[in-house]
Structure 1
Amino acid sequence: MDANTDVSNRVLTIERTFNAPRALVFKMWTQPEHMARWWGCGYMKHIEVSADLRVGGQFRAAMTLDDDSSHVIVGKYLEIDQPTHLSFTWWVENGAAGSETVVTIDLSEDGGKTHMSFRHGTFDEADMCAGHGEGWTVSFDRLEALFNASAKQ
């Protein structure tokens, strides 16, 4: 695994390499049944995801946290270039995480592995950026574990 996280300028950037083909990584980002397997913070016990994968289409991820509180993320797809690029808005429905932000993912494949360049921002405050960095890192660790488990089968 290669991982690099930067939160400068209230923009989160993460570089990761996954042991999976690019088409599969893209599916994990865009199909609700796959998104529900790895999205979410470390203190989440349940998630329901819906997605309308088209430019202008929306997604919704409703999470139940360990303390039984809910956390709903909504967004709109801005750019889709399957299987290399995806961009969408990101907003916490109750506004707890500040203003709407934009997530951009670029995927490149080399030797059956996929390098992901991930960007999320611009956040209102540096601590929001850092907090999302922690959450995304947990999610990407889950995603990596799914790929590693599949590779062992």
Structure 2
Amino acid sequence: MANRTAITVETTIQAPVEKVWKYWTEPAHIQNWTFASDDWHAPYADNDLKEGGKFKTTMAAKDGSFSFDFGGVYTNVGEYKVIEYTMDDSRTVKVNFSSDGNATKVVETFEAEDTNSIEMQRGGWQAILDNFRKYTEAN
């Protein structure tokens, strides 16, 4: 397979890493933030957070016009530090969590796909990450 472009998005959340980790990994929370805009939602999420464990989140337009499943298999899980996985299309993702106690920085690096522009992919993943930050800080 050809080398893929790595794209990185990041945010800092005003919350301790334990809360950030919980909101990132628990299906009840995942369903509340895993979408890029308000006209989308995540009606289904399942997460077996361990090496070799699988996850799946359904992302759907609220008007019912389109939906897709985002899923993969975990390759590395280090509690409160790192989550790595391979998506169903064989691309890899690494998410790093670092905290100073009051705030947690989340840095997500993923391999680009070949359909959409790098800018569009970065924008979409950043929008989801920003939605995660807003959800976590508000709850």
TM-score, normalised on structure 2? 0.84
The percent identity for this pair of structures is 24
5+ long unaligned stretches in structure 1 = 1-8, 92-98
64, 85, 105: which one aligns with 2:60: 64
**Comparing both chains, which one has the higher relative contact order based on Cα–Cα distances under 8 Å and sequence gaps of 6 or more?**
2
Tell me the amino acid that sits aligned with residue 18 of structure 2. A
Could you say what the CA RMSD is over the residues aligned between the two structures, in angstroms?
2.0
| Partner of residue 15 from structure 1, selected from 2, 10, 26 | 10
Q: Return the offset for 1:90.
A: 1.8
Is the helix fraction higher in 1 or 2?
Answer: 1
The partner residue of 2:44 within 45, 48, 54 is 48
Output the amino acid matched with 2:110: H
- In structure 2, the CA distance between the partners of 1:11 and 1:28, relative to structure 1 (3 Å rule), is same
What's the TM-score, normalizing by structure 1? 0.77
**Which sections of structure 2, spanning at least 5 residues, go unmatched?**
none
For 1:33, the aligned partner's letter is A
Q: In structure 2, what is the Cα distance between the partners aligned to 1:105 and 1:113?
A: 16
Q: Matches of 1:110 and 1:137 in 2, distance apart?
A: 22
1:78–1:88 Cα contact (<8 Å) kept: yes
Would you say 1:78 and 2:68 are equivalent positions? Answer: no
Whole-Å separation in 1 of the counterparts to 2:17 and 2:127: 20
Aligned residues: 134
> Hey, which bits of structure 1, 4+ residues long, moved more than 6 A?
none
